[in-house]
Structure 1
Amino acid sequence: MTVLDVRALGRATLARQLLLDRADLSPLDAVAHLCGLQAQEPQEPFVGLWSRVRDFAPGDLSDLLVERRVVRTHLMRRTVHLVAADDVLAWRARHDPMLRQRVLGVYRRDLDGVDLDELAAAGRAVLSDDEPRSMAELARAVADRWPTTAPRALGEMLVAALVPMAQLPPRGLWRTKGGVRNLPLSTWLGREIDPLPADGADPVGQALLRRYLAAFGPAATADLRAWSGLAGLPAAVAAARDELVSFRDERGRELLDLPDAPRPDPDTPAPVRFLPAFDNAILGFDDRSRIIDDAHRGLSVAGERVVLVDGRVAATWTVEDDTVVAKPLRRFSRAERADVLAEGRALAAFLRAGRARVDAA
């Protein structure tokens, strides 16, 4: 079986993540291809798409949110993602058990004795007037029924798990601040969530597998679990296995992939790219060594924005005093420094930050 080394996997990841060449895609098609963008920090997806889509205009993404073609919602790993409306309606029911378990993992003691189906019904009754509510408002509205339960636990369980929600604009619009106001997805989108088949088949799991490999592969099943948060995909993998090809990584793990998906030559030049906080190009794997050194793995969960140089995390970046500042994690060559500065200036122009600089390592 062919072994793909870290560099080969890195180049494949960059190609799938639209980071090897900016893509001539609409923002909607890019969001769909990427299986959503992690978005708990509302402005970060704009940088994520700017780094991936040629001639990206931030107003186009804002328009998608207002037009209800893209929504902010809890989905993969119980984190907030920007997801195409068609995808969230197709995928949400498959995520429901995972979302419940993840919230219970935090609030199990608080929610002891709370009938979750009863809580869901109470939340839906409050929301039946189609009035958007914050999590705190929703928790207060049902608190009389569970007066000894921490309101935060009630609100988190309702908003992140029991009632599929959309976070409404202006939350997530370009250069706009707004608190989280929630409505049921079916109310906001005017369509019901797709039910799971009654026969126990898992077509959604198979679709998620194929979509994940198209955007992240080649990848191990552990990577698929780390991205989605779903543990119950072995049946989907087994059902699709005859359609897939297999490789090994240097650790000996089996990697699955789509037969015709791009796997560029490992020596393909990789441009400098500035990634936003919590970008799924890093978080979408269990083994992230294809793109970030183990010594820096903590950056990927700490909300640090990172810079890719030659396809790997080589710096962090911030905006300070109207300047995009890159702080290297290793010594840059003169050519690398020049490339980081050039891309930083382009990012500064996009953000209207004015200038860019590279601080010495």
Structure 2
Amino acid sequence: MNASIRVLSRRQLNRATLERQQLLRRKRGAVAELIERLVGLQAQAPLAAYVALWSRLEGFDPAELSELMTTRQVVRAGLLRSTIHLVTAEDCLMMWPLVYPVADRGLRGSFGKQLAGADLEAVVAFGTDLLSRGPYSRSRLRDVLGERWPDWDANAMAYAVSYLAGTVQVTPRGVWGTTGPAALQTIESWLGRAPMADPSIDALVLRYLAAFGPASVTDVQTWSGLTRLREVVDRLRPGLRVYADEDGRELFDVPEGPLPDAETPAPVRFLPEYDNLLLSHADRRRVNPSGRPVPLPPGNGAAIGTVLIDGDYAADWRHHRGADPVLRVTTHRPITAEVQEAIEAEAAELLTLIGSKGTPVVVGA
């Protein structure tokens, strides 16, 4: 390792990432602007983005995000890592052409055998035409495709269309206080504009570094699902700051990327299930030093999640409704009375957000 390269400790990387993710202190600001700055929010669970934004924005009002969704200024679409992300309309149009290879690879890896012998091009073209006219659930899409091509695997064909047609999950799915099926429609028909013809991968990588850096090439690839990004980073290298982690791995950063002091206080924060903070690096020790898996069953995004204590993933939370409601926080390590008090205070605010103010909070191992 070059002796002149500054080495960043795990704790320095932790604080840098938390600062860029707006988790060291809540700030006031527009919801759409934060979604754009973070290059989207993981939104596989339909309400996860609301908890993610509440953790980051002072005075967050779920109605603001709901309005953005119903007016189609932000959308939930299968993008990074082929998982559902909440992004601005402009970012959806920009990102889809870049991540299409990830979707194609994911489809062939998951359904290649089932689709052997099928005319995939014809299936996707037919499905795209259907979804350009209006929303379809995957089960309804499966029925239509199965009727048209009875000799091919209907479920695999439905997934092929959802992977490759470029789709969004339409509202009311994901709108606070409502329910709705996971119904798909094409990006172009929902937004009234075609995806960008030639978006810049360089610009996307720089935005990742601004939101998640300093980071390695493999970190960028893990976040996006894309491969062969070394040549992109090498092309950008002259304009980047270069660091190393404690294991000697090369890290890259935008020139203006903040690097707070390693001892900057990090408050307790509740995150939704699978927040991008926990998923966007190949080496996740900066926020998960124990390497603990996130053993969360699927939820709606506002009933289960993880807890940061001193900047690290150190507890899980779950909101139990019913006759005896409770918000239970399960810690992974011993905590002080001061930390328990902070957890309880933050939990009370979360309960207010999700409409369960006054529910008991139980903290324990």
> What's the TM-score, normalizing by structure 2?
0.93
- Alpha-carbon offset, residue 107 of structure 1: 0.5
* Percent identity of paired positions between Structure 1 and Structure 2: 38
The structure 2 residue matched to 1:192, chosen from 194, 200, 203, is: 194
CA contact (8 A) 2:45 2:298 kept: no
Alignment partners' CA distance in 2, 1:2 and 1:73: 38
Q: For 1:23-60, what per-residue CA distance to the aligned partner results, in whole angstroms no more than 9, with x for missing partners?
A: 22211011111111111111111100000011100011
Q: Which one is further off, 270-279 or 226-235? A: 226-235
- Alpha-carbon offset, residue 170 of structure 1: 0.5
Aligned to 2:168: 166
CA contact (8 A) 1:119 1:158 kept: yes
Alignment partners' CA distance in 2, 1:4 and 1:342: 32
Aligned to 1:351: 354
Alignment partners' CA distance in 2, 1:312 and 1:245: 25
- Alpha-carbon offset, residue 83 of structure 1: 0.8
How do 1:201-280 residues align onto structure 2 when only pairs under 5 Å count?
204-280=200-276
- Alpha-carbon offset, residue 180 of structure 1: 1.2
Q: Check 1:236–1:45 CA distance in 2 against 1; reply closer, same or farther (3 A cut).
A: same
- Alignment of 1:312 with 2:312, yes or no, is yes
Q: For 1:213-272, what per-residue CA distance to the aligned partner results, in whole angstroms no more than 9, with x for missing partners?
A: 111001111111111000032232122111101111111110100111111000000111
How do 1:12-91 residues align onto structure 2 when only pairs under 5 Å count?
12-91=16-95
Alignment partners' CA distance in 2, 1:71 and 1:139: 23
Q: For 1:116-140, what per-residue CA distance to the aligned partner results, in whole angstroms no more than 9, with x for missing partners?
A: 2222211123234x22111122222
Alignment partners' CA distance in 1, 2:260 and 2:50: 27
Aligned-partner residue type, residue 42 of structure 1: P
- Alpha-carbon offset, residue 352 of structure 1: 1.9
Aligned-partner residue type, residue 90 of structure 1: M
CA contact (8 A) 1:283 1:300 kept: no
SS in 2 for 1:4: coil
Aligned-partner residue type, residue 186 of structure 2: P
Aligned-partner residue type, residue 192 of structure 2: G
Q: Check 1:294–1:113 CA distance in 2 against 1; reply closer, same or farther (3 A cut).
A: farther
Q: Which one is further off, 46-55 or 115-124? A: 115-124
Aligned to 2:9: 5
Alignment partners' CA distance in 2, 1:118 and 1:234: 35
Task: Point out where structure 1 has 5 or more consecutive residues left out of the alignment.
Answer: 197-202
SS in 2 for 1:352: coil
Aligned-partner residue type, residue 318 of structure 1: R
Q: Check 1:302–1:43 CA distance in 2 against 1; reply closer, same or farther (3 A cut).
A: closer
Aligned-partner residue type, residue 311 of structure 2: G
Aligned-partner residue type, residue 31 of structure 2: P
> What's the TM-score, normalizing by structure 1?
0.94
Alignment partners' CA distance in 1, 2:296 and 2:19: 20
Alignment partners' CA distance in 2, 1:268 and 1:96: 39
- Alpha-carbon offset, residue 299 of structure 1: 3.7
Q: Which one is further off, 133-142 or 264-273? A: 133-142
SS in 2 for 1:211: helix
Q: Which one is further off, 117-126 or 244-253? A: 117-126
SS in 2 for 1:289: helix
Aligned length: 353
CA contact (8 A) 2:316 2:330 kept: yes
CA contact (8 A) 1:325 1:358 kept: yes
CA contact (8 A) 1:319 1:353 kept: no
Q: Which one is further off, 250-259 or 291-300? A: 291-300
Q: Check 1:22–1:166 CA distance in 2 against 1; reply closer, same or farther (3 A cut).
A: same
Q: Which one is further off, 349-358 or 48-57? A: 349-358
- Alignment of 1:114 with 2:114, yes or no, is no
The structure 1 residue matched to 2:342, chosen from 336, 339, 343, is: 339
